[in-house]
Amino acid sequence: MADEVKHIIEPQFWVERYGDYLYNYAIVRVNDAEKAGDLVQDTFLAGLKARAKFQGRSSERTWLISILKRKIIDTYRKNSSSRESSMSEYQEDISDGDFYRDDDPFKGHWLEGKGPNSHSLMPEGELEQDELRQIIEKCISLLPPKLASVFIMKLIDEAESDEVCKELEITPSNLWVILHRARLKMRDCVESKWV
């Protein structure tokens, strides 16, 4: 009666079945082809080692994705704790010399050319999806690693703020400042792609 579907594990087919899927998942989140490839390999190997623990309650794919997710978060943590770019650098300070003036009495005003230039960020009319994807991908890849981690985790992965803060060991006010900075840079980058 209660014939629950029991998923079986077949590592010999993993690469063929899930290789591209996991790779897509990873590349969107780490924005680096080589790193994404490594993560997928690591995921398969970790899954292989832990295959005795696979209980068949979820599908293989879901199980592998959960391993990959963990590994992606680990790379975010590495990004955010690397010494040259520690999160504390982004304390509560929203001023950014690359974008705003620092001279009185214009402190905090847009630097010339660093504010928005064109009226619209995107060209008029229907935008090719592929074009959009390439631009967003390119601009994310140009963000400093730490900004990219927060930006992706919060806006692409849609993680809750609490979770982002916990995983990356930042305070909520850090989070909003980092997101603001990431948007500053993203806007600048996307706009410059169309001019």
Partner 1 sequence: MFRKMMYKMMVFMSKRMIACDEASFLISYRSEKKLGFKSWMQLNFHLLSCHLCRKYASQIDELNSAVDQYREVCSSETCHHHLPEDCKAEVNTIIVQELNAK
Q: Which residues bind partner 1 (CB under 8 A)?
A: 11-12, 14-16, 19-24, 27-28, 33, 36-37, 40-41, 44-45, 48, 94-96, 99-100, 107-110, 115-116, 119-122, 129, 132-133, 136-137, 154-156, 158, 161, 176-177, 179-180, 183-184, 186-187, 190-191
Angle between helices 161-168 and 172-194 (to 10 degrees): 100
Cβ closest to partner 1, residue 91 vs residue 161:
161
**Spatial separation of the C-alpha atoms in residues 95 and 161, rounded to whole Å:** 22
Cβ closest to partner 1, residue 33 vs residue 82:
33
Q: Residue 104 corresponds to which amino acid?
A: D
Secondary structure (3-state) at 79: helix
Question: Could you tell me the smallest distance in angstroms from the CB atom of residue 1 to partner 1?
Answer: 34
Cβ closest to partner 1, residue 58 vs residue 95:
95
Cβ closest to partner 1, residue 22 vs residue 170:
22
Output the CA–CA distances (angstroms, integers) from residue 187 to 46, 114, 116, 177, 180, in the order listed. 38, 10, 8, 15, 10
